[in-house]
Amino acid sequence: MTFAPGDPQRCRILSATVLPEKNKEQDMAQERRDGGRGRDREERDDGMVDKLVHINRVAKVVKGGRRFGFAALVVVGDQKGRVGFGHGKAREVPEAIRKATESAKRDMIFVPLRSGRTLHHDVEGRWGAGRVLLRAAKQGTGIIAGGPMRAVFETLGMHDVVAKSMGSSNPYNMVRATFDALKSQMHPKDVAAARGIKYSTLQARRGTAVAAEE
């Protein structure tokens, strides 16, 4: 089928062919610009929830020049006390996120939570120039934390916590410092065993209010 150069039907056919490809390229470009934040939280078939914390553009110097790519920082958790973080690099954003997600799933930790909602005790974590303070909170407080720390708590399944960053604002340092603090979290039963005292005795020292909530 042939059309004259100015035929309206020819213009409609060309538009229907070109526009989908153009829209696809625009969507990919927008995903690179916003760092994939539109897909920062997704519940997968295995029950895991992943959240994109940070993504940035990186360059590798090779013999022929520089090769540009993307680096992603992802946090993964089951919202039941298990959480992990991973870092991935690739030429495209989706592939970098996929690599980071797989890395996070391979290195997860378990954090004991009081009543499944908050910390058992206040903790402090450090990593490089990053320093964070995590404090247990009453029921209904919510997650009072910003940036990367909030992503960790949401995927972990924590509902009440007060967190403050007192060091570097670098997302990698903040996430690693948060995990350093969470790794030092101990269940009261483990604390009682380490001290060589009864669990009930430890609970009495913590106060009747805490004992009743436990």
The band of 173, judged by pLDDT with boundaries at 50, 70 and 90, is very high
Map residue 186 onto helix, strand or coil.
Answer: coil
Round the average pLDDT of the chain to a whole number and report it: 79
Distances (CA, A) of 74 to 7, 60, 137, 170, 189: 51, 21, 26, 14, 32
- Domain ranges within the chain, ordered by starting residue: 38-183
pLDDT over 70 at 212, yes or no: no
What is the pLDDT, as a whole number, of residue 7? Answer: 58
Give the residue-averaged pLDDT of 180-198. Answer: 79
Amino acid at the residue 2: T
Give the residue-averaged pLDDT of 99-117. Answer: 92
What is the pLDDT, as a whole number, of residue 207? Answer: 63
What is the pLDDT, as a whole number, of residue 36? Answer: 45
Q: CB–CB of 81/47 below 8 Å?
A: no
More confident residue, 192 or 170: 170
d(CA 214, CA 208): 10
Q: What angle do CA 117, 121, 124 make, to 5 degrees?
A: 110
β-pair partners for 9: none
DSSP label of 27: H
More confident residue, 29 or 97: 97
pLDDT over 70 at 38, yes or no: no
Residue 67 CB: number of other CB atoms within 10 A? 11
Give the residue-averaged pLDDT of 71-100. Answer: 94
The band of 4, judged by pLDDT with boundaries at 50, 70 and 90, is low
Length of the chain: 214
Which of the four CATH numbers 2.102.10.10, 3.30.420.40, 3.40.50.2030, 3.30.230.10 does domain 38-183 have?
3.30.230.10
What is the pLDDT, as a whole number, of residue 121? Answer: 87
